[in-house]
Amino acid sequence: MFYLLLFIVVILASTLSALFGLAGGTIIMAVFTWTLGIKAAVPLHSTVQLVGNVARIGVYYALIEWKIVRYFVVLTLPGAYLGGLCINLFDEKWLEFGVGFFILLTLVLPAKKKDSETNYKNFVLLGFLSSFLGMIVAVSGPFIASFFVMNRITKEKLIATKSVCQGITQIVKLIVFVSIVHFSFEKYGGLLFWLSVAAIVGTFLGRYLINFLNEKTYNQLNNWLLFVIASAMIVVAFIKILQS
């Protein structure tokens, strides 16, 4: 029953990720934390998310913006390494509060014009920050998505390119979890297998459903999802701060 619950959750979350490129990781992290504990949740979340990202790369491969990826990857490993070293130094409550506030800020900033050029150098900073924060607060998907929204990346290209960027982030995080944190993945081998299957199933389902959303509706739903997730991060972090 426990495995079945997580299996269903990952299918639904991966469907959302394949549709919007976000929200799925937040749901998975919340359920993993509740059922498995925070220490196991973060590395297992990274593993399942990596499988989901690889699956999304496969179904959206032709739409990937490789120039964004090249800039993004420059500082991901240093960011994850530094995050691994600082994992016990930062209070995750304040980081979650800050990330949530930043996402809300991106939603109210003036949108870029469709014909304006993308500032690719911003994605170097994004690669560093997302991998650094990802080692500590785990859910960096909405943070990454906010950069893509600011640059007006179209829906399929957003999901395709973001999946590559997040996949790179998850790989370097897993390297750090193995080499520095020394987390034992073998203990959860069976669970990870079935959750990986669920992530792949959800990816294909989301890829099918996205065809029914036009660009305007997609952007509106995407912004609302970012707003809800960021607001929830701020509220939860604020409650934890008050309780500490």
Q: How confident is the model at residue 200 (pLDDT cuts 50, 70, 90)?
A: very high
Q: How far apart are CA 114 and CA 77, in angstroms?
A: 32
Q: How confident is the model at residue 140, as a pLDDT? A: 63
Sign of the torsion formed by the C-alpha atoms of 82, 86, 92 and 94: negative
pTM assigned to the model: 0.70
Judge contact between 10 and 195, C-beta under 8 A: yes
Q: What is the pLDDT of residues 132-171, one digit of tens each?
A: 777 666 556 666 776 776 666 777 787 888 888 878 878 8
Judge contact between 62 and 47, C-beta under 8 A: no
Burial of 243 (0-12, 13-18, 19+ CB in 10 A): exposed
Q: How much of the chain, in percent, has pLDDT values that exceed 70?
A: 81
Sign of the torsion formed by the C-alpha atoms of 41, 233, 151 and 208: positive
What is the domain partition of the chain in residue ranges? 2-243
Q: How confident is the model at residue 114, as a pLDDT? A: 54
- Residue 62: pLDDT over 80: yes
Q: What is the pLDDT of residues 42-59, one digit of tens each?
A: 788 888 888 888 998 888
Residue 46: which residues within 8 A CB-CB, separation 6 or more? 134, 138, 170, 173, 174, 177
Judge contact between 140 and 169, C-beta under 8 A: yes
Rounded to an integer, the average pLDDT of 180-196 is 79
Q: How confident is the model at residue 138, as a pLDDT? A: 56
More confident residue, 156 or 208: 208
Q: How far apart are CA 112 and CA 239, in angstroms?
A: 34
Q: How confident is the model at residue 88 (pLDDT cuts 50, 70, 90)?
A: low
Judge contact between 199 and 51, C-beta under 8 A: yes
